[in-house]
Amino acid sequence: EDKVVQSPLSLVVHEGDTVTLNCSYEVTNFRSLLWYKQEKKAPTFLFMLTSSGIEKKSGRLSSILDKKELFSILNITATQTGDSAIYLCAVDGGANFGNEKLTFGTGTRLTIIP
């Protein structure tokens, strides 16, 4: 059974700090790893990573994947209160193209204090 473990479970930092969120996984047919941000309700897509060592970046957020060690990190620099959310890591273990079989971790709840 595919498994995704995120750490820490929760994190409280001050505005302006840099945070690193961790995601480790076990999956039989790895295809990609995805990060989502969940604020009040619906998760929204942040990144998809498929290759090791290639950093994906979007503004103050960046993520990298290590397929050998089976983990990924999500970095957020110069945090803002709007970054407060639950960050979900998911692994696509879909065996067939077009079959997005996502297994989600329980998430990291990030709280930014002004």
Residues that bind other proteins in the complex, under the rule CB under 8 A: 4, 31-32, 34, 41-45, 48, 88, 90, 92, 94, 97-107
In this structure, what is the dihedral angle of CA atoms 38, 40, 41, 46, given to the nearest 10 degrees?
Answer: -20
What minimum distance in Å lies between the beta carbon of 23 and other proteins?
11
**Closer to other proteins by Cβ: residue 73 or 102:** 102
Q: What is the C-alpha separation between 89 and 19, in angstroms, rounded?
A: 15
Q: CB 38 → other proteins: shortest distance, Å? A: 9
Nearer to other proteins, 77 or 99 (CB): 99
Q: Which of 32, 62 has the CB closer to other proteins?
A: 32
- The C-alpha R_g of the chain, in whole angstroms, comes to 14
Q: Hunting for tokens 């065996």 — which residue is that?
A: 95
Closest separation in Å from C-beta 50 to other proteins: 9
Q: Nearest CA to 71 among 19, 44, 35?
A: 35
